[in-house]
Amino acid sequence: MIDPEAITEAKRSLGRQLAACRDAAGLKQQELAPKIHYGRSTIANVEVGRQTCSRTFWERCDQALGADGALLRAYEELKGLVREQQADVARRMEEERVAKFGQLTAPATLAGPLVPRHLVGTVMLRVQVEGREVIVSLDRRALLQAGVGTLLEAFALGQQFDTGRHIAGQPGPPDRMTVTSPAHVDEILAHLREQWHALVKTDNLLGPRFALAGVLNQITVVEALGSVLRDEQRLEVVRLGGQYAESAAWLYEDAGNMAQARYWTSRAMEWAYEAGDERLLAWTIFRRSQQAAATEGAAQVIGFARAARRNEEQLARPTRAAIRVQEAYGHALDGDERDSQRLLDEAHTWAASDTVGDARGGHGSYCTPGHIEIQRASCWLTTGKPKKAIQLYEQTLPALPAVYQRNRAAAQVRLAVAYVADGQPEQAASTARAALPVARSAGSTRIVAEIKSLRTELAPHRSLGAVAALLDDLDHDAN
């Protein structure tokens, strides 16, 4: 089993190796940056293990520094460790699934994910329009083949996914969805729209642990409807499918499963394109920009964000604000403070005023003035200005609406990172520890991992009470 700390240390080791090669070549970070076409701050983040970047980054560094393949080999070794850790996680999840739900089964003729016995069955869809009845039988495996693994992971997060079956292990009767008229279809679509807003609020209040299964449940309904409806009603179903798929992508990202996050982002893009929904299509490209920030570097972050706002006059105001904020972060990753701050200032032009957390103002409704300033603090931190970041975090965090509990926890962790960078380990530990219960309860593996990444910097200060308390909490997780 690969310890997450081993991955963290491998990232730092790779960063130290890059710094050593750069020093040996007699180059400063700002001198290396134009040679590899990455920003100075990206190089700085990599050298301290905060960022990894793509293979392209390491190929360029290896060539520019004359490392003769050493940096690229070290990068591949790190990726091997990451893959091995992912395999370990998958094996543990499979063991938990079997322990909770029994052995999985699937017919020999079905390729793809295995299906637990209590999910085997048929969805019967009866549609009666203008006096003509059509009954369609849909194999649940076919409906869920792409998403069954995600459903099982939702179970592992502690979800209850119950649409009339007995989850405890006894199979119930096949699911039946009966649609009797066009008006009935309209009522179902209205209900699905309302459910999406309710699940967005559930996510903001409680996190992926409590929202993911509901989102996946509605996706099965959308897929069943979309297989038999036509024309405008089908397009409306497809639009809703795109919304739910994008929500699934975010929930999986927050839960630490980037493979499923990318899968559902792609599904959302497909549905948005089919439906001709330019707003949703732009939002899915914005989400790719967010995903790129973790591994692909500043150029991709900026490029996706700019693509997302290519036709921004068609976008809702909060969406325009959120995309500006994301592009600003890309420039911060690239070490460009001027453009980063300019874009954040522009974002205030379209800032949302949502305090409910259900996205009724459109995608990006969370992007309030307070959110923008919290992201400004993150940009200051990314460009190496922790004091400015601390001041801004401390000013804006108390005003964040109560519904955004998980966002508050994420910002607290970034504040803790700023405290570490500013040499305040005790304040960092107490701040991170305040965020830890929220992150655990929400099932936000993303936030928990960020807290764990502070362990190495804080370990030398274990004699401080707050630091010892946080490290003990994290050690308890490891056991």
Q: What is the pLDDT of residues 231-245, one digit of tens each?
A: 888 899 999 999 999
Mean pLDDT comparison of 1-5, 189-193, 233-237, 392-396, highest-scoring range:
392-396
How far is 214 from 154, CA to CA, in rounded Å?
9
Q: In the prediction, which pLDDT does 93 show?
A: 59
Q: In the prediction, which pLDDT does 82 show?
A: 78
What's the maximum distance between 2 C-alpha atoms anywhere in the chain? 81
Q: What is the pLDDT of residues 158-194, one digit of tens each?
A: 333 333 332 333 333 334 456 777 788 888 999 999 9
Q: In the prediction, which pLDDT does 127 show?
A: 43
Interacting residues of 221 by C-beta distance below 8 A, sequence separation 6+: 177, 188, 192
Q: How far is CA 209 from CA 153, 169, 256, in A?
A: 10, 21, 12
How far is 384 from 82, CA to CA, in rounded Å?
27
**Across all residues in the chain, what is the average pLDDT?**
83
**Dihedral over Cα of 461, 49, 289, 342: its sign:** positive
What average pLDDT does range 398-425 have in this prediction?
A: 95
Residue 199: pLDDT over 80: yes
The least confident of 122-131, 239-248, 296-305 is: 122-131
Q: In the prediction, which pLDDT does 44 show?
A: 87
Q: In the prediction, which pLDDT does 476 show?
A: 79
SS3 call for 2? coil
Residue 119: pLDDT over 70: no
Chain-centre distance for alpha carbon 104: 28
Tokens read off for 414: 């970034």
Interacting residues of 79 by C-beta distance below 8 A, sequence separation 6+: none
Identify how many contiguous H helices and E strands the chain contains and give both numbers.
22, 5
SS3 call for 133? strand
Could you count the other beta carbons within 10 Å of the beta carbon of residue 261? 22
Residue 430 pLDDT grade (very low, low, confident, very high; cuts 50, 70, 90) = very high
Q: In the prediction, which pLDDT does 412 show?
A: 97
To the nearest whole percent, how much of the chain has pLDDT over 90?
63
Q: What is the DSSP string of 422-462?
A: TT-HHHHHHHHHHHHHHHHHHT-HHHHHHHHTTHHHHGGGT
How far is 372 from 378, CA to CA, in rounded Å?
10
φ, ψ for residue 253 (rounded to 5)?
A: -60, -45
Q: In the prediction, which pLDDT does 155 show?
A: 39
Q: What is the pLDDT of residues 106-116, one digit of tens each?
A: 333 333 333 34
Interacting residues of 246 by C-beta distance below 8 A, sequence separation 6+: 264, 265, 268, 280, 283, 284, 287, 363
Residue 126 β-bridge partners: 135, 178
Q: What is the pLDDT of residues 23-80, one digit of tens each?
A: 999 999 999 988 998 778 789 888 988 777 778 889 999 999 999 999 999 999 888 8
How far is 143 from 432, CA to CA, in rounded Å?
41
Give the DSSP H/E element, type plus range, for residue 401: none
Domains of the chain, first to last: 4-101 (1.10.260.40)
Give the DSSP H/E element, type plus range, for residue 389: helix 386-396
How far is 444 from 447, CA to CA, in rounded Å?
6
The least confident of 11-15, 99-103, 295-299, 350-354 is: 99-103
To the nearest whole percent, how much of the chain has pLDDT over 70?
79
